[in-house]
A = this chain, B = another copy of it.
């Protein structure tokens, strides 16, 4: 399995073998992190930038009512905190949703990359802009009522993002997200989230069970969710096509 960071950045920049070698070198020293472990907490000023190589994590914020709002899912190839290199202070926390393989890249390495490799800088820049586009799309989803659509939309998005880093086979992929975590993402109660997921199952669109998602009909699901992948800016459509083919 290829390096998911490199795999992802290929979509946003024309990398040379040289660039690939440099990126490969930065993501050498890996470590394992168990489930439900914090990767970073609100308020911290880390000296490393973390990168997810394997597993799922999420950004979240705790509310004074004790509820938590999840603001992003991090999948292989995603940076946890590239932005703190500039902003300094984390304004939210990140926790693993499954056992993860993490790479820590020293801030100096990032600085070196951005000073000396414009193409890589551009690629990293691109990655954060895609993250931004995803946030905008989530806002669109959360504003929506009724709640059936957003959950289907989220599944479409995850399918597409994971396909881009080759984590989807035969229209199915590991999805270590509990219904409570879905609920915290969509701002719904657990009960209602359950209803919505069963609704998708009843409609033969997708089954989310046993930490695995099976997309029965991606075509139909995208129509149901009014999903268009353009905001993910994965102009190379091959992986998306692959999902279509496999779930057909």
Contacts and interface: CB of A to CB of B under 8 A. Distances in A.
Interface stretch (A97-105, A138-146, A198-206, A213-221): A138-146
A162 interface: no
A225 to B, nearest CB: 11
Interface string A147-184: 00000000000000000000000000000000000001
Contact of A69 (B126, B140, B184, B187): B140
Nearest to A188: B143
A122 interface: yes
Nearest to A59: B136
Contacts of A242: none
Interface string A96-137: 000000000000000000010010001001101111110110
Contacts of A125: 86, 125
A5 interface: no
Interface in A215-237: 226, 230-231, 233
A226 B66 CA distance: 13
A7 interface: no
A140 B71 CA distance: 7
B91 A187 contact: no
B233 A61 contact: no
Interface of A: 12, 59, 61, 63-64, 69, 71-72, 83, 86-89, 91-92, 115, 118, 122, 125-126, 128-133, 135-136, 138-140, 142-145, 184-187, 226, 230-231, 233
Given A91-B136, A144-B187, 16 more contacts: A59-B136, A63-B144, A69-B143, A72-B136, A86-B129, A87-B126, A87-B129, A87-B130, A89-B233, A115-B118, A128-B132, A132-B132, A132-B135, A142-B143, A143-B187, A145-B187
